Structure 1
Amino acid sequence: MRTGARRAAHPATMELIPAAMTLTTESTGTTATARSRWEAEAQQRAARLEALLGDPLEPANPHGLRALFAADDRRTPPAETESLLVEEGLGAEFVPAEYGGRLIRADLLARVLRPVFRRDVALGFGSGITSLFAAGAVWAAGAPGQRRHVADLLLGGGRATILHHELAHANALLRDEFTARTMPDGGYLLDGRKDVITNASRAHAQVVYARTDPDRGPRSHSVLLLDPGQQEAPAVRHLPRVTTPGMRGALFSGLEFTDYAVPGEALVGTTGGGVALALRTSQVNHGLICGVVTAAAETVLRSAVRAATTGRSAPVARRWHKPLTGVFADILACDSMATVVLRALSLLPDRAHLFAAAVKYVVPDLLRENLEELATVLGARGYEHDNPRYGALDKLMRDLPVAGLGHAGTASCQAVIVPQLRGLAERSWFAEEDPPPALFRQGGELPVLDYRSLGIAGGGDFMAASLVGSAARLAASRGAGGRLPALAELAGGFVTELRALREECRRLPAYGTTALTDPAVCVLSDRYSLIVAAAAVLGVWESQDGTDPFLAEPAWAVLALSRFGERLGIPVPDLPDGCLEHVLDELVRRYRTGRSCDLDAVPLSR
């Protein structure tokens, strides 16, 4: 095991790491000061967007919650806000810097998008990340001309859409929704129908995952890049708009292809490369969704704090202490998970796929539970969809499942995790070294995100290794009373759970298609995902340099890990005296000073 490299970053153990470093990273040829500039510029763009969108509670604000809720009721996109995002060049955030855009790292992209998602998940998808989900395959495997075409389109304010996401079965790529028959001239005849596609009626590019091989298997599908401007009836038919219970302001409609002739140069990557491309790009998509919808949950948390503090002599009624602090700790934990996986896409691109699936597995469940807890604080006010002060609960509870965060999405994550558990237990757990400290440390050295380097199999388990390392460094603090010993006790408990999981996974049969139908096997993925979620929290806590005294204190991590432990059913120590109060004080302070409830604690437009 490596020496306590991450521990050196924590003020409780050693001196602070200098904020500005000038060493050059061989893998990228860029300096750490350049990467610090990237972070600063991303923060500036996020702050500008936050300011332009304005006070979400201001009744006259055309981009405020009242206007966004009204558009949701009308089932129309908020046109004025969409225009603002186009004018601000939001599409450039989804274009790699080498093609003139601003996409440098996925974790920085999440920061820029949070002001949008903090207000409206449907707006974030309809005017934002759906284009990145489509373009990801092009960034990963497209020909230079395809990349240049999509880059110019997005830089000019256009949209791209992806034709494989089916709400009914959660990104199940192997469903026969589109087929493409190879023609003698090297082109394709495309057939098939999909009824639910984001922005099908107004996209300027379509990325289609189509079956090109009748045999089922990893080479069954290919990706085609289509130009809607060249499509004519009857070969292409636009289907009516589909109304959904959530994300009502987004435009979902269908497309039907009948013997539609597609030129050979529309192929993205290689024939049969569609499934692999989807697995590679989904890592970015999963981490990014989790990172930005956490900001939406934060809006509901702020409304609950508002309800619990308005018109009261005491800061917060005691009965609300546990739900409010618990959700705050969970949001910090979700942000830790999402941030770490998004940073891993740059730092450990060949090994991030497993943790990306675990994050997508855990975060949606946590957020759904959080909304239920906040509903107890908000009561009936949380369902007043025309009330911007409290109605964000009602909207987000409807939006999350439609955004791909429903129960069906869990199966796709299990399909990534379950097949690897036996191999991890036999070869990886308790045998690997810690990942690089920069994975957890804000301002740490990270390469540029390169879709072409993303892996989809193997590579071990750096998060399990991180957990073991964190617990070993904390072990000396176990036994005494207080927050740090409680954190050490919790870390040790998760390591014990990992050991038990290793023994069970070693007894798994060789992976086959029946494994995912066995509830007992799927429960193992539940346990694994919460274990590595705890590793992310510990890693982020250890990386603190004291700049934020609250995050450097163990209280929030103790509370977050205690909640994880309760979900796992492992022994959890009693919360130390003052732990809950410390977290509550910070939550109320952030609410009153207008700062976000994530790791960054950035100023908000209130």
Structure 2
Amino acid sequence: MSDIRTDAGTRMEALEERLGDPWDPANSAGFAAIVAADEHEETPEGGRAALDGFGILAEFVPSSLGGRLERVDHLVELMRSVYRRDPSLGLGHCSSSLLGAVNVWTAGSPEQRRYAADLLLGGNKISCAFHELAHGNDIGSVEFAATPADGRLLLNGRKESITNLDRADAVVFLARTDPAGGPRSNSQLFVPVSSLDPERTRFLPRFRSVGMRGVRLGGITVDDCPVDAAALLGARGTGMETIARAFQLTRIALPAMSTAMLDTALRVTLHHVLRRRLYGRGVADIPMVRTTLANAFADLLLCEAFAAAAARSLHVLPELGSVYAPAVKYLLAGVLLDAVEQLSLVMGAEFYRRDGEHAVFQKMTRDIKPVAFGHIARAACLSAMLPQLPVLARRAWRDAAPAPAALFATDSELPPLDLAGLRIAVGRQDGLAGTLGAALDDDLPAPLRPVVDAHARRLEMLAEACAGLRPRDLSIAASVEVRDLAAGYASVLAAAASVGTWQHATPGGFLARPEWLVAALTRLTGRAVGQPEDVPAEVEGALLEELLDRHDRTASFGVSARRYR
């Protein structure tokens, strides 16, 4: 493994260098190799080798344990270099180990944390075996059991659709340890695969998928398989509490990494339309095409602004991750899927091609679909947010102080990440909500005031509606109208994050200009009522000018605008 212990920016440049130019047909980690591997339901060998040489799994290990993980926003930005090339490589070869490891960092003993760190630093994988197909996202209803017997635990049951299970060196299981049920009936176990009795363990055939075809999804059945009682991760019965803390990171980070898929889809679309003529004119000059490109650019900036603020909130506002994390997953998944679908209309017949220089587009349209349901479904995100809304409305939204600058400024120092210290219920202040309200007290540019005011008024209406919600309104069977309140709150948070990003942008840079914010908030206003509006005509030109400039400079279309290969 490469020992790259330099600053995050240098590591991002080093990773880009290792992965090479994705458009180079001779690059073993480029788009051509990625599409060819995807046809065989694999990831490119050259990409895997480049990531292993970089020591990518060290990015998921806290620096206190010898790894490189210090800031969640830096981890996300670095991983976008992988996801923009091949999301299957990003999830299957990399991020799937994060899903298991965060539980160990959150609740593991010093010995378990050291063992997990050594595995990842050595390039070995950790799998996360929580889901059972019969229960979907209702992981609290697992039937997989761990029963005490003669000082050990006997595992019985079945886990399915688990990433990298056949390649993992250790597995984090979620198991029922109290057959009576209840909120403390489930526990987590951290088990070396080598300790599983092969006579009592059977690995299931690989599950095949439409998108993320290179990700190896497998399953396992165990029958009275003994494991050491010390495999318990945290105290018995605390499995769901650990998930509530640990997955705040992954429910922000994984959707945030996935914005790179929209970046690539937009880049490929630009590459196509800038070279094509139709009806005697350049396709890039057709009004509908220009508007679709501007819309996608505004959507991408919105998603990344929201994701960055939420990622930093795990350091700065740890009492709010329980609601910010599902809000990020819910909103980003919807926006990203819609944006890529609109770009496919511009691509036309080229969208369907599985060969040629634009073939990676059809792969991205398939690979982005699981963002809506993988790890946690969008509907489950709303269910996770609902019980917290009355508390927010009564205690955290009225006269809330704005979030500190560290939530938005990329060069701010952040407190250390403390996963075990994350709250599983919201606190008394909502910094993002406060940021939105405080912005109206500033001297906003004229085009901005009405769109910022629209979202601030939406928060006021949410506060009134949510304060009156009763416990029976907040269950999984909540009405569409009540669930819409949670969706509306996610929109308000995204608006506030975008406003804060604009306020704390580098002077003179594109993000310090109001045009992108007007575009993003206008799109978001329409999305909140089910019909995203096009970017206003008066700002469309500014967005397209910036988009084309970044295209020419091979720079990210997201918030960072960092140079790519």
Q: TM-score, normalised by structure 2?
A: 0.94
Residue 433 of structure 1, aligned match among 383, 386, 401: 401
| Segment drifting more, 62-71 vs 441-450 | 441-450
Contact 2:184-2:240 within 8 A present in 1 as well: yes
Cα deviation for residue 147 of structure 1 reads 0.6
User: Deviations for 1:425-452, whole angstroms, at most 9, x for unmatched residues?
Assistant: 2222123211211111111120121212
Residue 391 of structure 1, aligned match among 340, 351, 359: 359
Residue 400 of structure 1, aligned match among 349, 362, 368: 368
- Matching of residue 580 in structure 1 with residue 549 in structure 2: no
AA aligned opposite 2:18: L
Change (3 A) 1:571 1:99: closer
Cα deviation for residue 528 of structure 1 reads 1.1
AA aligned opposite 1:53: L
Cα deviation for residue 271 of structure 1 reads 0.5
- Matching of residue 109 in structure 1 with residue 84 in structure 2: no
Cα deviation for residue 354 of structure 1 reads 0.9
Q: How many residues align?
A: 557
Match of 1:519 in 2: 480
Match of 1:32 in 2: none
Q: How does 1:470-485 map to 2 (within 5 A)?
A: 470-473=439-442, 476-477=443-444, 484-485=445-446
Residue 12 of structure 2, aligned match among 43, 46, 55: 46
Match of 1:372 in 2: 341
Distance 1:423 1:444 in 2: 30
Match of 1:275 in 2: 240
Change (3 A) 1:520 1:472: same
Match of 1:29 in 2: none
Match of 1:500 in 2: 461
Cα deviation for residue 376 of structure 1 reads 1.3
Cα deviation for residue 404 of structure 1 reads 5.7
Change (3 A) 1:432 1:571: farther
Cα deviation for residue 393 of structure 1 reads 3.0
AA aligned opposite 1:319: M
Contact 2:436-2:495 within 8 A present in 1 as well: yes
Q: Does the residue aligned with 1:517 lie in a helix, a strand or coil?
A: coil
Distance 1:513 1:491 in 2: 29
Cα deviation for residue 357 of structure 1 reads 1.2
- Matching of residue 154 in structure 1 with residue 120 in structure 2: yes
Distance 1:402 1:562 in 2: 27
Q: Which has the higher contact order (CA 8 A, sep 6+)?
A: 1
- Matching of residue 539 in structure 1 with residue 500 in structure 2: yes
Distance 1:573 1:189 in 2: 56
User: Deviations for 1:170-198, whole angstroms, at most 9, x for unmatched residues?
Assistant: 5422122411112342x211111122111
Match of 2:174 in 1: 209
Contact 1:490-1:573 within 8 A present in 2 as well: no
Distance 1:586 1:515 in 2: 44
Distance 1:446 1:168 in 2: 41
Q: TM-score, normalised by structure 1?
A: 0.88
AA aligned opposite 2:540: L
Residue 332 of structure 1, aligned match among 301, 306, 311: 301
Match of 1:343 in 2: 312
Match of 1:481 in 2: none
AA aligned opposite 1:596: S
Distance 2:133 2:416 in 1: 32
Distance 2:167 2:376 in 1: 27
Distance 1:57 1:430 in 2: 51
Cα deviation for residue 351 of structure 1 reads 2.2
| Segment drifting more, 404-413 vs 368-377 | 404-413
Contact 2:327-2:490 within 8 A present in 1 as well: yes
Cα deviation for residue 544 of structure 1 reads 1.1
Residue 97 of structure 1, aligned match among 47, 63, 68: 63
Q: How does 1:158-197 map to 2 (within 5 A)?
A: 158-166=124-132, 170-185=136-151, 187-197=152-162
Change (3 A) 1:350 1:201: same
Change (3 A) 1:516 1:390: farther
Match of 1:238 in 2: 203
Cα deviation for residue 316 of structure 1 reads 3.2
Contact 1:137-1:281 within 8 A present in 2 as well: yes
Contact 2:248-2:322 within 8 A present in 1 as well: yes
Change (3 A) 1:259 1:72: same
Contact 1:43-1:111 within 8 A present in 2 as well: no
Change (3 A) 1:571 1:78: closer
Match of 1:137 in 2: 103
User: Deviations for 1:385-426, whole angstroms, at most 9, x for unmatched residues?
Assistant: 223x32333212222333564697112211221111122222
Residue 437 of structure 2, aligned match among 447, 450, 468: 468
Structure 2: gaps of 5 or more residues:
none
The root-mean-square deviation of aligned C-alpha atoms, in Å, is: 2.2
Match of 1:30 in 2: none
User: Deviations for 1:278-310, whole angstroms, at most 9, x for unmatched residues?
Assistant: 111111101111211101110000111112211
